[in-house]
């Protein structure tokens, strides 16, 4: 860390020397002689320079070494695979129990015995008595199963893992496992829940049914096999699912992001899926190209200052969100881009806005806007961010006290500590200072703030494994 500060000060001194040598000797530039264009260039130059918080945040990118030995890594992966397979097996068994049609047990002689039963003396008013006092036969018990699906029909299914896109940490960390059934083009999503240490259960999160897109260029189209891939967004109306938590009912549409998929089953089912749609929608392709063009334009500005800009935008949007509904107007977003010196051409901004504001109500969710202009981590990286946060938030409340962060963060394997250039306390202090700056409340860390911190850190790390090590080393996951 000291070496980093030394290099930073040397770069500042070199910039100052170069600027002085470029001026003519004896020429004094007065403040009133500066033109507005020069003032804007100076402001942009100051914004491009790294601050102390940027330097401290970049120290987290040094965690690129592998935290475990090869043998330890293999054992850890095997244990995680066994635990994940056990979860999926529990959910699959529960789905089969809930969806299979169950045969009604019947007695062939019950009709012949019904006459004998009618001759038996029955006390007056006993027919309205509770069932335990009544003389009943199987013929009087009418059982109807809700489903007519057989095991062969349900076996042709595609399993996928998902997560809720939400600022609420409790909802974002729910473990969702979904199934798409080819026989009737229906899907269902279950949540894996753990109660205590030994009790687990799989509960329906989205009931089985045929659903369609509720947002975006595919709005109104029913889900088919080609809609399921890693990174796909499945949108649902919250009003159609009364069992949702109250935090999700506040928005009319909620989104489930596909994080993992059974590729073997998908390849097998593609050969039998008649309505397989592989061709992308042109409007969706144009939207992705616009997003990519805007993100490439801002990538250079974010490479070293990603943490400060991403977390700063999040705090800025929260302050503007007076109604606490997560949506802002076009004027708010334009002002935010101006404040953070994120120049986007007017034509690209208007095209981007038309894609995001498909309902034409002049308001969009600022999470969608941030992902559109800055991009986001891939699902492989996000999985480890959620894993680290779930380890900290063991009660699944959606927020972690800063005291717990201080206890769990370990800087023993930081390269600066290993080389003897800094102490563990100095590295920990630098991390806590940058994290506290990213939080609206310095005493606790919300999931969206924790994710935003590593979202900004991820921009400057090209290799996925290097980024994963920045989470494995300090958090021990």
Within this chain, do residues 226 and 360 fall inside the same structural domain, yes or no?
no
Residue entry with tokens 């309505």:
275
Give a yes or no: residue 358 inside a domain: yes
Q: Under a CB-based contact definition with an 8 Å cutoff, are residues 201 and 193 in contact?
A: yes
Give a yes or no: residue 96 inside a domain: no
Q: If you write DSSP's letter for every residue of 21-45 in order, what string do you get?
A: HHSPTT----GGG--HHHHHHHHHH
Within this chain, do residues 290 and 270 fall inside the same structural domain, yes or no?
no
* Tokens at 332, concatenated: 């708010």
Report the alpha-carbon distance of residue 383 to residue 391 in Å, rounded.
12
Which residues, 6 or more positions from 203, have their beta carbon under 8 angstroms from its beta carbon? 190, 191, 193
Q: Under a CB-based contact definition with an 8 Å cutoff, are residues 170 and 396 in contact?
A: yes
Task: Give the per-residue pLDDT at 49.
Answer: 67
Within this chain, do residues 317 and 385 fall inside the same structural domain, yes or no?
yes
Phi-psi sector, 5: left (phi>0), alpha (psi -120 to 50), beta: alpha
Give a yes or no: residue 345 inside a domain: yes
Task: Give the per-residue pLDDT at 43.
Answer: 43
pTM: 0.76
Q: Is 455 exposed, middle or buried (0-12, 13-18, 19+ CB in 10 A)?
A: buried
Within this chain, do residues 359 and 467 fall inside the same structural domain, yes or no?
yes
Within this chain, do residues 448 and 347 fall inside the same structural domain, yes or no?
yes
Query: Chunked in runs of 10, what are the mean pLDDT values of the chain (477 residues)?
Result: 51 46 35 40 52 86 82 85 89 87 52 48 51 51 58 86 92 93 91 82 92 87 92 92 86 92 90 56 63 85 86 90 86 90 88 83 87 90 93 88 92 90 91 91 92 91 91 90
Last residue of a domain, one of 229, 261, 279: 279
Radius of gyration for the chain, computed over Cα atoms and rounded to the nearest angstrom: 29
Which residues, 6 or more positions from 102, have their beta carbon under 8 angstroms from its beta carbon? 145
* Tokens at 240, concatenated: 């159609």
Within this chain, do residues 241 and 353 fall inside the same structural domain, yes or no?
no
Within this chain, do residues 262 and 401 fall inside the same structural domain, yes or no?
no
Within this chain, do residues 245 and 306 fall inside the same structural domain, yes or no?
no
Nearest CA to 61 out of 398, 434, 457 is that of 457
Give a yes or no: residue 163 inside a domain: yes
Q: Under a CB-based contact definition with an 8 Å cutoff, are residues 302 and 374 in contact?
A: yes
Within this chain, do residues 162 and 254 fall inside the same structural domain, yes or no?
yes
Classify 253 as helix, strand or coil: strand
Q: Under a CB-based contact definition with an 8 Å cutoff, are residues 139 and 110 in contact?
A: yes
- CATH number, residue 356: 1.10.238.10
Residue 343 Cα to chain centre, angstroms: 27
Report the alpha-carbon distance of residue 106 to residue 262 in Å, rounded.
40
pLDDT tens digits along 325-346: 888 899 999 999 999 888 888 8
Domain holding 255, by residue range, is: 149-279
Nearest CA to 245 out of 166, 327, 328 is that of 166
- CATH number, residue 192: 2.30.29
Nearest CA to 227 out of 160, 152, 156 is that of 160
Residue 77 Cα to chain centre, angstroms: 22
Give a yes or no: residue 324 inside a domain: yes
Last residue of a domain, one of 264, 279, 294: 279
Give a yes or no: residue 438 inside a domain: yes
Within this chain, do residues 393 and 330 fall inside the same structural domain, yes or no?
yes
Within this chain, do residues 441 and 421 fall inside the same structural domain, yes or no?
yes
Within this chain, do residues 452 and 335 fall inside the same structural domain, yes or no?
yes
Task: Give the per-residue pLDDT at 38.
Answer: 46
Give a yes or no: residue 466 inside a domain: yes
- Would strands 399-401 and 253-261 be described as parallel, antiparallel, or unpaired? unpaired
Give a yes or no: residue 179 inside a domain: yes
Rounded-to-10 torsion of CA 430, 432, 437, 438: 120
Last residue of a domain, one of 261, 279, 297: 279
Whole-angstrom CA distances from 47 to 52, 58, 389, 438 are 13, 17, 31, 18
In the chain, how many domains are there?
A: 2
């Amino acid at each position: 860390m000291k070496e980093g500060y030394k290099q930073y000060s040397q770069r500042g001194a070199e910039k100052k020397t170069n600027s002085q040598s470029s001026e003519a000797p004896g020429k004094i530039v007065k403040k009133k002689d500066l033109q507005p264009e020069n003032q804007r260039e100076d402001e942009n130059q100051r914004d491009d320079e790294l601050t102390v918080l940027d330097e401290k945040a970049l120290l987290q990118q040094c965690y690129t070494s592998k935290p475990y030995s090869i043998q330890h890594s293999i054992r850890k992966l095997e244990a995680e695979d066994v635990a994940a397979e056990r979860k999926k097996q529990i959910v699959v068994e529960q789905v089969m129990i809930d969806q299979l049609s169950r045969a009604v047990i019947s007695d062939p002689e019950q009709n012949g015995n019904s006459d004998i039963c009618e001759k038996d003396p029955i006390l007056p008013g006993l027919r309205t008595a509770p069932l335990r006092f009544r003389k009943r036969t199987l013929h009087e018990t009418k059982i109807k199963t809700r489903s007519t699906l057989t095991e062969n029909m349900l076996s042709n299914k595609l399993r996928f893992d998902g997560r809720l896109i939400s600022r609420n940490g409790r909802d974002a960390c729910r473990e969702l496992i979904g199934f798409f059934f080819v026989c009737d083009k229906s899907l269902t999503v279950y949540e894996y829940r753990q109660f205590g240490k030994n009790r687990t259960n799989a509960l329906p999160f989205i009931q089985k049914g045929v659903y369609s897109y509720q947002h975006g260029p595919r709005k109104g189209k029913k889900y088919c096999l080609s809609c399921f891939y890693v990174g796909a967004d499945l949108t649902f109306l919250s009003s159609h699912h009364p069992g949702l938590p109250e935090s999700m009912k506040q928005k009319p549409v909620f989104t489930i992001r596909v994080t993992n998929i059974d590729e073997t089953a998908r390849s097998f089912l593609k050969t039998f899926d008649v309505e397989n749609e592989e061709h992308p929608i042109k409007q969706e392709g144009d939207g992705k190209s616009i997003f990519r063009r805007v993100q490439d334009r801002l990538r250079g500005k974010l490479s070293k200052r990603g943490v400060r800009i991403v977390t700063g935008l999040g705090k800025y949007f929260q302050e503007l969100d007076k109604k606490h509904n997560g949506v802002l107007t076009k004027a708010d977003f334009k002002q935010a881009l101006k404040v953070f010196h994120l120049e986007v051409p007017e034509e690209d901004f208007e095209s981007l806005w038309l894609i995001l504001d498909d309902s034409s109500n002049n308001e969009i969710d600022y999470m969608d806007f941030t992902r559109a202009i800055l991009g986001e981590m891939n699902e492989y990286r996000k999985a480890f961010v959620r894993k680290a946060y779930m380890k900290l938030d063991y009660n699944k409340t959606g927020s972690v006290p800063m005291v717990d962060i201080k206890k769990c963060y370990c800087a023993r394997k930081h390269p600066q500590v290993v080389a003897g250039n800094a102490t563990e306390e100095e590295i920990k202090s630098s991390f806590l200072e940058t994290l506290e700056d990213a939080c609206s409340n310095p005493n606790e860390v919300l999931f969206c703030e924790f994710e935003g911190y590593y979202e900004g850190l991820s921009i400057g790390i090209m290799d996925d494994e290097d980024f994963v090590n920045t989470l494995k080393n300090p958090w021990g996951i």
